[in-house]
Structure 1
Amino acid sequence: MNILALGAHPDDIEIQCAGTLALYAQAGHKVFMAVATNGNVGSPTHSRDEIGAIRKQEQINSCALIGAELIWMDFDDEWLFNDRPTRTRFIDAIRQADPDVMFIHGPTDYHPDHRISGQIAEDARIPASVRLVETSLPYIKKIPHMFYMDNPTGLGFEPEAYVDVSSVMKIKQDMLRCHVSQDTWIRAVYGDDVSITDMMDKNAANRGQQMNVAFAEGFREVKTYPRTGNFGLLPGFGR
């Protein structure tokens, strides 16, 4: 299968579903990681251009750990809008990956870029398969099945399904640690005793406790018509 995770910022995908992606990659599936914004405001010291370039390289480094292909969409951080050019780019991201399964941000997430990227991805799901919706890439022949990723702290998100990521938790942590600039940013904002993995580790442990394993990731199913898959598409699916 082809698997596409679409996140708003560099590091979002790692926090929410990198363990699940690592399991897909280990099973021989093709994984794509699409990042909508370039993260060009996330630095206490660098210019916008400097931090944008740094964050792109960090994302490349993270993808390399599981052999994922990066789709870099390059919108400005904090300025993502649901307009025609943006939706067109999202359609092309889906067409490039031609996914069987997609992971997107859900509507209860705290960050506007997260919510907007999830809504655009959900809205682009069917147009990506429509011949007369003309973009730079040809239309795809199948409509992917979509899952909402967890929220960063789990707040306001009730999983319908879980994936046990205990065996790949170190890979998940290593992928997130590739985002060195964000560890610097977090420590500058919240203090030196807070690391980039703290919040992720806590939520993964909490989700793991809910399914009686060490670490897990939680998901909900996107219910929009047509339903082209089910929870059985998740690796090691548990409820």
Structure 2
Amino acid sequence: MKVDILAFGVHPDDVELGCSGTLIASAAAGKKVAVIDLTGGELGTRGTIETRKTEAADAAKIMRLSARENLFMADGFFQNDETNIRKVITVIRKYKPEIVLCNAPEDRHPDHGRSSKLVADAAFLSGLRKIETSINDIQQEHWRPSYVFHYIQDRYLKPDFVFDISAYFEEKIKSILCYKTQFNTTDTSEPETYISNPDFLETIKGRALMFGKRIGVKYAEGYLSAKTPGVSNFDAFIQQVT
């Protein structure tokens, strides 16, 4: 299956927090989108790997994904090494995306930055035909995405560009709330965490409002890009006035 956009999250819920509005908007526009979770989030303070699996499946429906897979690397301890790079290359070649989205190069959780480099390295190496990978003993063709964009999640990073998600912000929040053990919960049977307090969602809304204000819309998601995106005409900058 070829998709237009392949989004990577090191933990289930990273994609929902960082770029789900973009994925929902893109799917609504007819694009095929898929998600790869690198780990099962087994070190999360609340919930279990089983509950995360169910929550991720529920969120996938809201995000209108064509596919979602988990590579089950070691949460907290995975490395940017040949074994894991090959795993990421294999799914990039499987889905042949034009655009890859992944975690920010640096963030509150150390896994985020490490996974960012892992995915970016794999996206480049995936284009080298002498690196051989296969699925079910069938040799894969080399493939390099046109762009790798890094979504901004927790720490404030100045975006290189922002994506208008105004029409889909409520669906973004619904996708986040699929993680019932993690967010917007007053359940005291498990420890309170940085993200479990209902007030945490207000920070998500505040950031989306701030990024939206930069381009004159209500809500937006921010991205970093090592490669400068280009345009062939100024139509890309024209906002529809209503």
Fold-level similarity (TM above 0.5):
yes
- Say whether 1:210 aligns with 2:214: yes
Q: Deviations over 1:40-63 (max 9, x none)?
A: 12134x5xxxx1121112111111
For 1:199 and 1:145, how far apart are their aligned partners in 2?
28
Q: CA deviation at 1:148?
A: 1.4
For 2:150 and 2:161, how far apart are their aligned partners in 1?
10
Question: Which protein shows a greater Rg?
Answer: 2
- Alpha carbons of 1:231 and 1:204: their partners in 2 closer, same or farther (altered >3 Å)? farther
Q: CA deviation at 1:168?
A: 0.2
Please, which of 65, 88, 91 is the counterpart of residue 90 of structure 1?
A: 88
Q: Is the 8 A contact 2:45 2:193 kept in 1?
A: no
* Unpaired segments ≥5 residues, structure 2: none
| 1:170 paired residue number | 170
Q: CA deviation at 1:140?
A: 3.5
What TM-score results when the alignment is normalised by the length of structure 2? 0.83
Structure that is richer in helix per residue: 1
- SS of match in other structure, 1:24: helix
For 2:123 and 2:153, how far apart are their aligned partners in 1?
21
- SS of match in other structure, 1:180: coil
Counterpart of 2:91 in structure 1: which amino acid? Answer: A
Give aligned pairs, total.
225
| 1:220 paired residue number | 224
- Alpha carbons of 1:71 and 1:230: their partners in 2 closer, same or farther (altered >3 Å)? farther
| 1:198 paired residue number | 202
- Alpha carbons of 1:28 and 1:4: their partners in 2 closer, same or farther (altered >3 Å)? same
CA RMSD, 1 decimal = 2.6
For 1:2 and 1:230, how far apart are their aligned partners in 2?
18
- Say whether 1:59 aligns with 2:61: no
Counterpart of 1:189 in structure 2: which amino acid? Answer: T
- SS of match in other structure, 1:107: coil
- Alpha carbons of 1:238 and 1:178: their partners in 2 closer, same or farther (altered >3 Å)? farther
Counterpart of 1:103 in structure 2: which amino acid? Answer: L
| 1:81 paired residue number | 79
Q: Is the 8 A contact 1:6 1:36 kept in 2?
A: yes
Q: Deviations over 1:154-188 (max 9, x none)?
A: x2x11121111110001100111111121258972
| 1:189 paired residue number | 193
Q: CA deviation at 1:96?
A: 2.0
